[in-house]
Amino acid sequence: MAKKTQTIHKLSKFKPGATTGAKNYSGIYTAKMALRGPLELVKIVQTGVPVSDAKKLYSHYKVDEKEVIGYLKVSVAKFKKWKANHRLSSEESDRLVRLARLMAAADALHEGDAEAARRWMESPKSALGGSSPLKFAQTEVGAREVEHLIGRLEHGVFS
C-alpha cells in the first residue's frame, strides 16, 4: 500500500512545464516520462488521477476548462464539486492521460510553445475531416490518428 501511495504522490508533485530529457512536457505526462514506464502509468490510471492534474493541464495550455471537462465526459457541475484531491475514475483518468499525451506531442511539435500547441489542437484540420485535433481525439482511435498526423508533420510529410 505504501508503494501505491508513493506512486500517486509522485504524480501529483509534477508541475506543468517540468522538463524531462530534451523535451518539455506538461503536468501528468511528465510523470509518465519520469516514472518507470507504461506499467506504472497503468497503475496510476487504475488508481485514479487527481482532479488537480486536469486543472494543471488546462491551466498550462490555457485550454477552456469546459473543453477538458467535456473531454473527460463528466458534467461541469459534477467537476466543480470535486475537491482538488478527488480521484478521477479509471475511465476519466485514461481520457485525461490521453489528452495530456496529445497536448505534450503538440507542444513538442511546436518546440515547447504551449500557446501554439493549444491553438493547433483547437483549429480544424483538413486531414481530420475538418475537425480539430481536440474534438477528433475524443476516442482512442481518433487520438491515434491525431498522433499520426503530428508524426507526419514532424517528419515534413504534407498532411
In tens, the pLDDT along 58-112 reads 888 898 889 889 999 999 999 999 988 899 999 999 999 899 889 989 998 999 8
Radius of gyration of the CA atoms of the chain, in A: 15
Residues facing 9 on adjacent strands: none
Share of the chain above pLDDT 70, in %: 77
What DSSP string runs through 126-137?
GGGTTB-HHHHT
Reported pTM: 0.77
Mean pLDDT for the stretch of residues 23-31: 48
Q: Which residue has the higher pLDDT, 67 or 28?
A: 67
Share of the chain above pLDDT 90, in %: 51
Q: Report the alpha-carbon distance of residue 82 to residue 94 in Å, rounded.
A: 18
For the chain, give every domain's residue range: 2-154
Residue 10 has pLDDT above 70, yes or no: no
